[in-house]
Structure 1
Amino acid sequence: MSDSQRFPVAAHALAYLAHKGAYSAADAAPSAVLAASVPTNPVVIRRVTALLAKAGLIATRPGASGGSWLLRQPETIRLDEVLKAVNGCAHLGSTPAGAKGCPVGEHIPRQVAKALTAADQAAGAALAKITIADLLEADPASLRDFAPHSSCPVAA
């Protein structure tokens, strides 16, 4: 799975667990069920849920009766935490090494790297205002002023 897909898959999985009320091992959602909702492969879900579990957002149990469940209420899980949990960033690319001896090539990579840091921090600050619970609402205040991103498919 590409780095750029981990965050949307993670947010979707967490929202699904909240929607289904999966707050204990008895209510755990199997990876196949989560995968069907995304839709993706259960292996992708297991990779993402391993990262979410490592961050303390969910717990998982392996095996035929296994699955995932939330360790926190959806109102307390901010999307910046989810992004950090899956080792995500704003995904604007990375700076190529500049050409030695070129005044632009030696200077620009450092400045572009700073610009990427600024964008990453801005994305984190924006995501800190949105929770998993917001994703489940029809028109949450945290997202009211935004339209879906033009590159994202939107269900009718």
Structure 2
Amino acid sequence: MSDSQKFPVAAHALAYLAHKGAYEAKDAVASAILASSVPTNPVVIRRVTALLAKGGLIATRPGASGGSWLLRRPETIPLDEVLRAVNGCAHLGSTPLGAQGCPVGQHIPRQVAKALTAADNAAALALSKITIADLLEEDPASLKGLMPHASCPQAA
């Protein structure tokens, strides 16, 4: 799975767990069920849920009766935490090494890296104001007036 898909899949999985009321091991949702909601392969879900578990957002249990459940209520899980849990960033790229001896080539990568840091910080700030619970609402205040990103498929 590409890094650019980890965050959307993670947010979807957490929202699904909240929707199903999966807050205890007895309510665990299997990776195959999560995968059918995304839709993606259960292996993709298991990779993402492993990161979410490591980040302290969910717990998981392996095996035939396994699955995932939330460790916190959805209104206490801001999306910037989800992004950090899956090692995400704004995905604007990374700076190539500049050509040695070129005054622009030696200077620009450092400056572009700073710009990427600024973009990541801005994304984290924006995401910190949106929770998993907001994703489940029809028109939450945190997303009011925003349109879906042009690169994202829109639900009918």
- The percentage of aligned residue pairs carrying the same residue is 84
Q: How far is the alpha carbon of 1:98 from its aligned partner?
A: 0.2
Task: State how far apart, in whole Å, the 2-side matches of 1:140 and 1:148 are.
Answer: 14
**Which structure 1 residue ranges, 4+ long, deviate > 6 Å from structure 2?**
none
Unaligned residue ranges in structure 2 (runs of 5+) = none
Q: Distance in 2 between matches of 1:151 and 1:53?
A: 28
C-alpha distance in 1 between matches for 2:56 and 2:155? 31
Q: Deviations over 1:81-115 (max 9, x none)?
A: 00000000000000000001101001000000000
TM-score normalised by structure 2 residue count: 0.99
2:114 equivalent to 1:114: yes
Superposition deviation, residue 12 in structure 1: 0.1
Partner of 1:16: 16
Summarize deviations over 1:29-54 as a string: whole Å, max 9, x none.
00000000000000000000000001
Match of 1:147 in 2: 147
In structure 1, runs of 5+ residues without a counterpart are none
Task: Tell me, in whole angstroms, the C-alpha distance in 2 between the residues paired with 1:58 and 1:125.
Answer: 23
Query: Counterparts of 2:106 and 2:57 in 1: how far apart (Å)?
Result: 42
Equivalent position of 2:7 in the other structure: 7
Which residue in the other structure is 1:63 paired with?
63
Shift of 1:145: 2.1
Equivalent residue of 1:14, what SS? Answer: helix
Q: How does 1:68-147 map to 2 (within 5 A)?
A: 68-147=68-147
Is 1:40 the equivalent of 2:40?
yes
Q: Secondary structure at the match of 2:134?
A: helix
Query: What is the TM-score of this pair, normalised by structure 1?
Result: 0.99
RMSD across aligned C-alpha pairs, in angstroms? 0.3
